[in-house]
Structure 1
């Protein structure tokens, strides 16, 4: 028998402790760290999805991605778990297509009939990037839209595109263009200040925008146009109108009190100035036909109190059909009837007939002048006022000649514009003592706005 050690008190010697478990390899440690990161991302996304669903199914459960235990460190099981988590994570992070009303600045509406036909046939609308809506857009399916990324595209249903097209078609083309331009300015302002581009618009955003416009010397009258544009954009998309907020309204009112609007400095074309003006055309125009053409335009615009957009083309490629056409004129023995098919105050195209009678002054008689012009005009259909080559007269062409003639007469060209004919018609009617109702009817004003066109003798 082996001898016992006396120092140990006769007890058997202790066995050495077992060797410690070998430390996990660096690969396994990296896998564990990646797994934990994936689990954290999945849990966060599933928790957010559960809150969005608000009880629609077991969206917030995280039982499918249990935290890895220390025992599961073998490479095969770790790789399998990473594959499962990665697939679930990809599904959660996939952008969700949201069906929502289009944002104000991106609605594009054409005034031509082919465009109308295209939309009526169910033409598809292209998805456009939309700003974050703060949960204002309705969800598309059980996943909802509030938690989707703000840069995800919005897929618009064809019927919704058609509805937006028709809503924006209720505006005049010039108004529609102005509204969309001002909406883009507002969104650019918010982007420059890193403000969230959410709809409905927070009133604080509007207040900051109005103060910015005022700081760059935008007229107070134009501030109302900006508000009208943003109000229409919001209502057309089904959002609340933030421009009706008490603070926004009082802010505009305060700015108008601080900086009163400048009075309209445009002067009227009086009958005396009109005679001198058309005589000057004979010197400036290169041919007798051109002189007769611009003379007729001036006389018709004065006696008919026409807006420039009702008579002339906006550009050579203008296809809106708003300018006067040859078939819009009916010559009679005692006068002429001009049909306005559409105007600023007649957006639905009901039409209005303007009757012009004979004048004692032969040089300014609209009926005789129009007859002479039609006899010399090229025998083609289309624009009423056209050049020898049948191309229509545009705003720019007439304005250039008009201002040059005004300057040659010794007047300041900046004091007169194409609206001076309309201002002159209202002022002349007031000088004749016509009642307010008659002046309103002559200029086709639907309100008392005609008073802004009447100039007192000392203002001319």
Structure 2
């Protein structure tokens, strides 16, 4: 017993000076566990691994990881201060320039950069610019400008990119306090996302908490849509009302054509009138309309829309509109009468001077006068009520949702928001001459 006792050497657990490999740690754990099991075999009990050893190894690993992170940070700073940093270009706030150095795509070596023709860089920038619409570019540019304003006000410094999740959280909160709508907040966050992904940065807007914040903004800012649909019966009343609310024949014929076409073509107000002279891209032109000959006995007309909301591809959509049994609300007859006094001159389809379209303010004002004459609440019926009424009437007529979506140029299931479910069957409108 004494000799065996002197021959046995007591071993102490050796801790690594720095974090070793996973294999080394496992070996240490196995060695200690083996010794414990051997002793346990003599006593018949199973002893756990010593908690002091686990804690010591864990502490060493964490310390080693911390040291490695510090060394990596120092290496990154040295690289940024090196000669290559002179070639780095700050990412464009509009998202149309290419950053030749990024955390994901890596660096382009000097000899490769010198060999690349300038035309390739210019073409790449043009392709990126063409990937999103001009309006989207402007929205993202505004988003970056607003974020810089936020950062200057809250952090008292200019932002450095990439930003972290906390900055996005506070940015969304700040926008909410500033009274921005959910759509505006969502657009600004999308701008930050586009900026980061384009430049190869990790996108901080994709975290779960950011999505929930935006959802919360939507819940707090959402208001019920109280706009009512303009039905064929109401449309008939409006068409008859302009006889008493408008003094000139030209304006009466034009408004009747505008009202009926808005309903049967699911038109947005921006497609028949302009909010401003600088916002006329989507306004329907005379050359967008084709009426079957002879004009006096026209049976149908075709409206070709090339520019409208969400049509980023600029692919035209043609709507074939047939004559209606009820002559008072027939869009083809109303359009023929309007063209007879307007003429076939090029320009906006609805105009006073053949060059400028009808303004939205004028159109909504005349619609309001007609609604008031009919005894209808102008707070519940708006210019968009024609589009809502057309979608609701088509839905009640058993037309499929997919076809309604195509007719109204909706690019998603958002069309469902326009369905107003009737509580009575449709009351037929008596044809009137």
TM-score by length of 2: 0.66
3-state SS of 1:102 partner: coil
How far did 1:186 drift?
2.4
Q: Residue 314 and residue 361 in structure 1: after superposition, are their counterparts in 2 closer, same or farther (change >3 A)? A: same
1:193-272 aligned at under 5 Å gives the runs 193=154, 194-256=156-218, 259=220, 261-272=222-233
CA gap of 1:388–1:247, structure 2 versus 1, over 3 A, is: closer
Q: In the aligned structure 1, how far is the partner of 2:234 from the partner of 2:273?
A: 21
Specify the alignment match of 2:267 in structure 1.
Answer: 306
**The 10-residue stretch of structure 1 (306-315 or 324-333) with the greater mean CA deviation from structure 2:** 306-315
Once the two structures are superposed, what CA deviation does each residue of 1:14-38 show, in whole Å capped at 9, x if it has no partner?
Answer: xxxxxxxxxxxxxxxxxxxxxxxxx
Match of 2:244 among 283, 300, 306: 283
2:92 is matched with which residue: 78, 97, 102?
102
Deviation at 1:243, TM superposition (A): 1.3
Which one of 315, 326, 335 corresponds to residue 286 of structure 2? 326
d(CA) in 2 for partners of 1:408, 1:138: 68
Q: State the partner residue of 1:387.
A: 352
Q: Secondary structure at the match of 2:399?
A: coil
Distance 1:99 1:374, change over 3 A: same
Change (3 A) 1:368 1:255: closer
More displaced stretch, 211-220 vs 346-355: 211-220
Partners of 1:185 and 1:409 lie apart in 2 by 46
Query: Is this contact kept in 2: 1:234–1:240, CA < 8 A?
Result: yes
Structure 1 CA distance for aligned equivalents of residues 324 and 308 of structure 2: 26
Deviations 1:274-329 (A, max 9, x none): 22223333333342111211221111111011223333334234463x32121111
Matched, 1:438 2:428: no
Paired with 2:355 and 2:82, the residues of 1 have a C-alpha distance of 70
2:262–2:386 Cα contact (<8 Å) kept: yes
Q: Of Structure 1 and Structure 2, which has the larger fraction of its residues in helix?
A: 2
Partner of 1:340: 305
Q: Which residue of 1 aligns with 2:152?
A: 191
Counterparts in 2 of 1:260 and 1:48: CA distance versus 1, 3 Å: closer
Contact 1:378 / 1:390 at 8 angstroms: preserved in 2? Answer: no
- Number of aligned residues: 335
Distance of aligned partners of 1:319 and 1:345 in 2 relative to their CA distance in 1, 3 Å threshold: closer
Q: Secondary structure at the match of 1:205?
A: helix
Deviations 1:386-411 (A, max 9, x none): 11454322323312322343344443
Q: Which runs of 5+ in 1 are unaligned?
A: 1-46, 58-94, 108-124, 126-132, 143-156
Measured in 2, the distance between the counterparts of 1:53 and 1:141 equals 15
Distance in 1 (CA, whole Å) between partners of 2:350 and 2:302 is: 16
Query: Aligned runs of 1:404-443 on 2, under 5 Å?
Result: 404-443=369-408
Residue 222 (structure 1) shift:
4.3
User: How far, CA to CA, are the matches of 2:409 and 2:269 in structure 1?
Assistant: 14
Q: CA deviation at 1:338?
A: 0.8
After TM superposition, the score normalised by the length of structure 1 is 0.63
Deviation at 1:140, TM superposition (A): 10
Which of 161, 176, 181 aligns to 2:142? It is 181
1:218 Cα deviation from its structure 2 partner:
3.6
Whole-angstrom CA distance in 2 between matches of 1:274 and 1:50: 69
Structure 1 residues 40-82: Cα deviation after superposition (integer angstroms, max 9, x where no partner): xxxxxxx99993467769xxxxxxxxxxxxxxxxxxxxxxxxx
Distance (whole Å) between structure 2 residues aligned to residue 423 and residue 405 of structure 1? 18
Structure 2 partner of 1:18: none
Match of 1:449 in 2: 414
Q: Which consecutive residues of structure 2, in runs of 5 or more, have no partner in the other structure? A: 1-73, 111-117, 293-297, 425-433
Q: 1:51 aligns with which of 78, 87, 109?
A: 78
Contact (CA 8 Å) 1:98, 1:139: kept in 2 or not?
A: no
Larger Rg: 1
